[in-house]
Structure 1
């Protein structure tokens, strides 16, 4: 095992600035807009989808707030107490994975609403949405204790880079299996079932509405994979490279941090793919249509759902 000290290249630092600055600006503006619109809504208009999107917007905003700190200290030695670095990293990971699990919950909500529309009216309500979101926050925060037990004492020469040693295998497995693979498989199953169901019913009701639903649901899954698969693959790549040459460790280290640049973009895309895109598709396709009771996509749009209590 080679004893190496690795760092990111100037190209990765430039990539981070090119991706993070627009993500920060658009993400903060978009997520704050969504939160303000929801806060201004009368209580009688709140529904379970708004609860999920609100929690996701909050989680994304927290990650976005940390981005400027991350950019500033990315290639600068960390001179503050190690506890501050550990707190920042914990908050970053917690909110990133809360966002992932809320995306998964929204996929399950769509699946239940479209596959079981009659039962959905009982299952999908504000109370259950609050319980699900609370459980997500509690579970993810409890998992962060594993980081403090196994990884908080590791190399902190640079807070946002591990220049000498990587994450422990236990923490990598936790992040990759529970934090990515499980949500991905759930989203993949729900997305495939929902799209197949909507395709079979294209000639029933509003064809335009169903095509818009299919496009949005598929786009959500594609964005999820593009943003989060590279970084979780990068965890394993860097861990495996740790037993190889310094050149391999250098490549793995830079791959992982280029993947982080991509994953951070998800915080700026969520508000557009889960709120603005859905709102636009409904405004375009449903303004001329009288909604029928039990319409399949009524549960997909956050703006056209009746309040469920």
Structure 2
């Protein structure tokens, strides 16, 4: 029994360590990237915010709101949750909301790109900022709605070392757990991934049929979007499906084995899902031509202009100082000549 418990403790400790490393990388890379995207859009693109840029702005906001909470979770893995059950519920709810928003916005952006490429003229009247604002509000509304179960069932749990952790949802019945898990898998992965892959397959076919020679770069961006979303999210939802199978199976041995697999993988796969929020600025924001140009022209160019201006000012001041010194020397020499 002691060996079994020690093995479980070691597995849990390794699981926490891996999850903490993944979350640390996501926070260190994702927060500056998303913050930079928000700054560029808000302060350098006031007059050229297309519908796509509005979607990217909301995506960056949702991602950065998720990523700035990661230090709390990393601290919790190491020292335990110390903020109480109420804050556990609220913070978990906000994280689920923003994760839903991130997934929904990626799906909307895929559909928007599909309409813009496949039906560019028929959809011009729909690709307006007023329509996009309504879509964004609907996305946030649905995200808040689908995250309500977290407020109802999120509780504090105790880990192997006796520390409280804000990681579990405890349901009143098996039917509630099955319903909530199936809803999350379908709404947060199956439907969005199906929409994305369908849209990008159609976009890829359309691009290949065009005469201009830019299909390779477009295909690379499209492929990276689908692949990264799949890699980041499918392990998390596979673990959820494993928990469903363990709950529904009548074989107790299989159920216990599947529950062990779930316990081992839930933290790591959950942490991996945060990587999608970290990679989003690279895939969506910096792949957008107007944001890239906005970054180059508005940020770097302004910095270069300021440096150039300061150098010119310093050079002018130095020349003026030199001239003044020469004049003072000349005046002194004239005065000395008069004295002679």
TM-score, scaled to structure 2: 0.74
Corresponding residue SS for 1:120: coil
Aligned to 1:193: 202
Contact 2:24/2:74 (<8 A) preserved: no
Change (3 A) 1:90 1:159: farther
Give the counterpart of 2:137 among 134, 137, 156. Answer: 134
What do you get for the CA RMSD once the two structures are aligned? 2.6
Distance, in Å, in 1 between the alignment partners of 2:278 and 2:80 is 28
Structure 1 or 2, whichever has the larger Rg, is: 2
> Which of the residues 19, 41, 44 maps onto 2:44?
41
Report the equivalent of 1:70: 73
- Quickly say closer, same or farther: Cα 1:164–1:119, change in 2 above 3 A: closer
Distance 1:235 1:133, change over 3 A: same
> What is the aligned partner in structure 1 of residue 149 from structure 2?
146
1:161 equivalent to 2:167? Answer yes
Higher relative contact order (CA 8 A, sep 6+): 1
User: Can you list the C-alpha shifts for 1:113-156, whole angstroms capped at 9, x where unaligned?
Assistant: 1110112322211111111111000111022223334x23x554
Taking the aligned partners of 2:277 and 2:193, their CA distance within structure 1 comes to: 17
- Contact residue 241 and residue 249 of structure 1 kept, 8 A: yes
With structure 1 as the length reference, what TM-score do the two structures score? 0.81
1:164 to partner: Cα distance: 8.1
Q: Where in structure 1 are there 5+ consecutive unaligned residues?
A: 284-309
Secondary structure in 2 aligned to 1:161? strand
Aligned residues: 273
What SS does the aligned partner of 1:46 have? Answer: coil
Aligned match for 2:273, one of 242, 263, 268 = 263
Distance 1:183 1:231 in 2: 15
* 223, 227, 236: which one aligns with 2:232: 227
Q: Which moved more, 1:58-67 or 1:270-279?
A: 270-279
C-alpha distance in structure 2 between counterparts of 1:181 and 1:76, whole Å: 35
Structure 2 residue runs of 5 or longer lacking an equivalent are 159-163, 294-340
C-alpha deviation, 1:11, in angstroms:
2.1
